[in-house]
Structures are given as structure tokens and as C-alpha cells.
Amino acid sequence: MEHKVGINNLKSIAGNWTGKVRQVMLGQDVEIYVDMDLQGDGDKVMGMARLDVSHIQLKDESGQPLKPATVSINGAFYENRFLHLNYKNPDEPLQFGYIVIDLYENSIKANDYIIKGLLIGYGPKSKKIINGEIVLKKSAS
């Protein structure tokens, strides 16, 4: 099997990725804007991502608008087919999760470096296990 996109090593994954996560948040279907910077370190992938829901006008239990969150990213390639990424908010212990991207089956548009995958985690605002789809496009270098 060949990769549908040329993302199969640390050099190809390094850089800025932007996109959206689609999930249910506080009872509503929402799109969360993602701005992710990834780097390679040995055989590991590391970085940070900013998750922004300010365009949605959702509020927390106290009535305050939800603010963007920054999460740390750690992961690696697995079996030269999958990219798995753990995310965790260093400021919010109960915001964490896992992203899996199948570089054979769920990667699309090879010329644009667009990938999609699934995530599962825990949402600190919903106080529930959450899941969703993530679609990211690599920014031009």
C-alpha cells in the first residue's frame, strides 16, 4: 500500500497545520478551529495546538464565553501507516485526548497535504468523554 499523501516521516509532518475539529460540545454540534505547530525530535512528534471556539458564542457554567485553549502535542508514526498524537492542556488537567490519523485510508488531496482523522478525549466543559473528526491542512512553507 502506498501513502495517499507524502506524509510518512518527521520532516513531512513538521510545520504549521490549520483546520477544524467537528464534535458535540455542551449539546451543540460545533466546529473548533485548530492551529497546530508540529516538530520532529528523533522518532517523536511534538508541538502545540491552539483550539478556538470564540466564533461559536458558547458559554461556560458561569455564563462566561469559552476562551481559546492551548494543548501540548506528543506522538509518533506507527507501523509507517498511522500518525498518533496525544494532546493535553497543561492549564486544565481534565482536557486531554488522543488523535489517530491513518495515512493510507483517511488522508486526502495529496497535493495540498490535507489529512483527516478521529479524536477521542475528555472535555472539561462538558465533563464527558468527547469524540470528533479532525481535518488539517499544512500551511505553505
Which has more pLDDT, 127 or 118?
118
pLDDT band at 110; cut points 50, 70, 90: low
pLDDT at 13 over 70: yes
- Using H for helix, E for strand and C for coil, what is the string for 89-115? ECCEEEEEEEEEEECCCCEECHHHCEE
The pTM for the full model equals 0.85
Domain locations along the chain: 10-138
Q: Is the pLDDT of residue 9 over 80?
A: no
Q: Could you give the 3-state DSSP secondary structure of residue 10? A: helix
Helix (H) / strand (E) containing 12: helix 10-13
Binned at pLDDT 50, 70 and 90, residue 75 comes out as very high
pLDDT at 126 > cutoff 90: no
85 compared with 58, residue with greater pLDDT: 85
Whether the pLDDT of residue 70 is over 90: the answer is yes
The pLDDT tens digits for 25-43 are 777 788 999 999 999 887 7
Name the fold adopted by 10-138.
Answer: Lipocalin (2.40.128)
Angle at 124 between CA 73 and CA 16, to 5 degrees: 25
Of residues 141 and 126, which shows the higher confidence score? 126
